[in-house]
């Protein structure tokens, strides 16, 4: 096993432990391996160990990787960064999931540009659960209305909600933010939007996110190592 493959196995084991501690079913949490800033060769290594879901933030960087990895047809690409309106076409044509919908306009473009032969693009509404000014996402009180509007678009499928919890928050505050997400998902159901996904939890806060109901965790550095943005 390579170093990345060892890291990967250890993250899978940590998720299994978190599921068990939270009295949740085995494999009820899906791992998205966040590969931003890392080369396609690293993705290949983790793919060879069995991983299929990968998350990317920067559309241009990701698009180049889709070309390099075109021989791996069962890769599932999750866009977890902002999609500017001049990049929606790439995303509509090659992504499987977008976790960061916070504007109806972006969703409308993605739906219009989704090729007819492809299945609907799976999307989550990003919620600014911490209220930090630097964060993307809709305020919690606007999440249900946006999800309801997006659910009317023909070529998108609303799957649930996503957040990036506050990095500096203590355990109690993090828990409050994750539980608010769970509560919002319940309100989506009540509003008739049949969504089942809570995309939350990263390398630093995964066990707590799982305890609070995360269905998809997005983990980068614990698998691929420290990122160098230079």
Ligand X SMILES: *Cc1c(COP(=O)(O)O)cnc(C)c1O
Q: Give the interface with ligand X as residue ranges (CB under 6 A).
A: 34, 36, 57, 80, 164, 202-204, 218-222
C-beta of residue 195 within 8 angstroms of C-beta of residue 159 = yes
Spell out a b/e string for 174-198, using b for 16 or more CB atoms within 10 Å of the CB, else e: bbebbebbeebbeebeeeebebebb
| Separation CA 191–CA 152 (nearest Å) | 13
Least Å distance between CB 214 and ligand X? 12
Q: Please identify, using beta-carbon distances, which residue of 15 and 164 lies nearer to ligand X.
A: 164
CB of 63 to ligand X, least distance (A): 17
Distance CA 88, CA 210 (A): 31
CB of residue 46 to ligand X, shortest distance in Å? 14
Output 96 or 191, the one with its CB closest to ligand X: 96
- Report the relative pairing of strands 76-79 and 197-199 from DSSP bridges: unpaired
In angstroms, the Cα distances linking 165 to 45, 69, 95, 230 are 29, 31, 24, 25
Q: CB-wise, 164 or 208, nearer to ligand X?
A: 164
Looking at the Cβ atoms of 189 and 220, the one nearer to ligand X is: 220
Least distance in angstroms from the C-beta of 150 to ligand X: 19
């Amino acid at each position: 096993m390579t170093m990345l493959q060892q890291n990967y196995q250890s993250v899978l084991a940590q998720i299994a432990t978190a599921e068990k501690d939270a009295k949740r079913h085995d494999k009820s949490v899906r791992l998205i391996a966040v590969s931003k800033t890392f080369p396609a060769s690293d993705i290949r290594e983790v793919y060879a160990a069995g991983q299929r879901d990968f998350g990317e933030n920067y559309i241009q960087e990701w698009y180049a990787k889709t070309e390099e990895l075109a021989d791996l047809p069962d890769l599932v690409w999750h866009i977890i960064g902002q999609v500017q309106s001049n990049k929606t076409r790439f995303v509509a044509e090659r992504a499987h999931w977008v976790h960061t919908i916070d504007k109806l306009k972006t969703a409308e473009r993605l739906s219009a540009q989704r090729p007819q032969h492809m299945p609907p693009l799976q999307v989550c509404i990003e919620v600014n659960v911490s209220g930090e000014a630097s964060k993307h996402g809709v305020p919690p009180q606007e999440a249900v209305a946006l999800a309801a509007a997006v659910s009317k678009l023909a070529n998108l499928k609303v799957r649930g909600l996503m957040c990036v919890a506050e990095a500096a928050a203590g355990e109690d505050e993090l828990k409050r933010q994750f539980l608010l997400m769970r509560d919002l998902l319940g309100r989506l159901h009540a509003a008739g939007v049949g969504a089942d996904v809570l995309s939350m939890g990263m390398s630093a806060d995964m066990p707590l996110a799982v305890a609070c109901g995360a269905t998809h965790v997005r983990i980068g550095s614990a698998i691929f190592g420290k990122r160098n943005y230079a």
